[in-house]
Chains A and B, each alone.
Chain A
């Protein structure tokens, strides 16, 4: 099965109102070409699930500036003033989630778990409205799974099967988001078109990847 599609075909998979997970940490390991194409297309009313909102000129920060989101679920928005402005002026809903909890909620969504129990956030605003579960005398917050319609991922290399490998600190959320989304699209710096990746090098198996976009060299 050919998973390699054009950028135009890829962004057409994202519909208005969709929930999208986007890999990256302050723009490092984020699919910039997919983001640029979505900004150009102007697909709106999206809900974003991402570690952060990067910077106004980088990563999902560009989608924030283009006002594509109605809701943002992230652990940190402080590097992008526009996110803060939209939140304080009531234009965009922002749910702040501790970073370790965010990745576990995504992992739970992809891996068939009903949630995760964590001490993180106990006694803080994060705990408001959440169930506290006691295990062996210790309190934990019940944090529920997250799912998405589309995951937009970045890899250093991908083969035609969708097997992904990474370079540097780009693994971050890219490793798990594909499992928690109905459709996942990976933009890779290099698409291996002849043969396949050495199975020893595969970090995320291609079964989690539906479509591949050639991101090209930097």
Chain B
């Protein structure tokens, strides 16, 4: 069994393989942010952050921190050569307008039809949706990067019981157990982490899990 950090890095490493040369990518806060660390140097991916950065780069050395240059989580960041600062209307025009190729987000629950809940647990945790609803409605491809269960409770469900962030929005789910496509017939396991049997993955999934005839070991 992997510890939490190893699990998150494993998921992030696999998500990074989904990007194509030249993709404009927006990463959510938390686990999705880690994905940037695993994009191969030869693949040119442009990161956008909704607070107003295009070609977001890595965290700067402490002596180069500029309080006005951060990622969408208010963490000090840098801009790579060729980057740009933009205002919020431009930033969300890019997002809603279908100009973002891929967004990677976390989730509390994903339903087999692609519905996603990731912005509140009524009465308990109500952080707000931030830019998530816009990303889910506007990005060309939506990847959910998350642990397969919440301490054993399934997060892949027949239908979400938490308030939805968007309907029919998710295309692909990457967890520590495998890679799952959201298809017309529901969840389709296309890659499996060999550490887990198909039965184990099924037991940890709250909806029917179809198995791809072309199932392979998780590519890393």
Contact = CB atoms under 8 A, between A and B. Distances in A.
Given A28-B67, A51-B88, A175-B89, A119 B137 contact: yes
A94 to B, nearest CB: 8
B50 interface: yes
Interface stretch (A9-17, A34-42, A120-128, A206-214): A120-128
A99 B163 contact: no
A205 interface: no
Interface string B106-142: 0000000001000000010111111111100110000
Interface in B72-116: 72-74, 85-89, 91-92, 95-96, 115
A187 to B, nearest CB: 14
Contacts of B193: none
B165 interface: yes
Contact of A123 (B72, B95, B167): B167
B128 A171 contact: no
Interface string A157-173: 00000000011111111
Contacts of B51: 25-26, 28, 169, 172
A65 B127 CA distance: 17
B53 interface: yes
B68 A52 contact: no
A67 interface: no
Given A51-B88, A76-B128, A100 B134 contact: yes
Nearest to A175: B87
A178 interface: no
A51 B128 CA distance: 11
B28 interface: no
Contacts of B91: 100
B126 A100 contact: no
Contacts of B170: none
Interface residues of B, number: 41
B96 to A, nearest CB: 5
Interface residues of A, number: 48
Contacts of A74: 128
A112 to B, nearest CB: 15
A217 interface: no
A122 B89 contact: no
Contact of A75 (B68, B70, B126, B129): B129
B96 A52 contact: no
B128 A96 contact: yes
Interface in A189-218: 203, 218
A184 B123 CA distance: 36
B45 interface: no
A24 to B, nearest CB: 10
B74 A171 contact: no
A7 interface: no
Interface stretch (A77-85, A129-137, A144-152): A77-85
B128 A172 contact: no
B52 interface: yes
B66 interface: yes
B218 interface: no
A171 B134 contact: no
A118 B74 CA distance: 27
27 contacts: A25-B51, A25-B52, A25-B88, A26-B51, A26-B73, A26-B74, A28-B67, A29-B68, A75-B129, A76-B128, A76-B129, A78-B126, A78-B128, A98-B133, A100-B92, A101-B134, A107-B89, A120-B96, A122-B137, A123-B115, A125-B164, A168-B66, A168-B69, A171-B87, A171-B88, A175-B87, A176-B88
Interface of B: 49-53, 66-70, 72-74, 85-89, 91-92, 95-96, 115, 123, 125-134, 137-138, 163-167
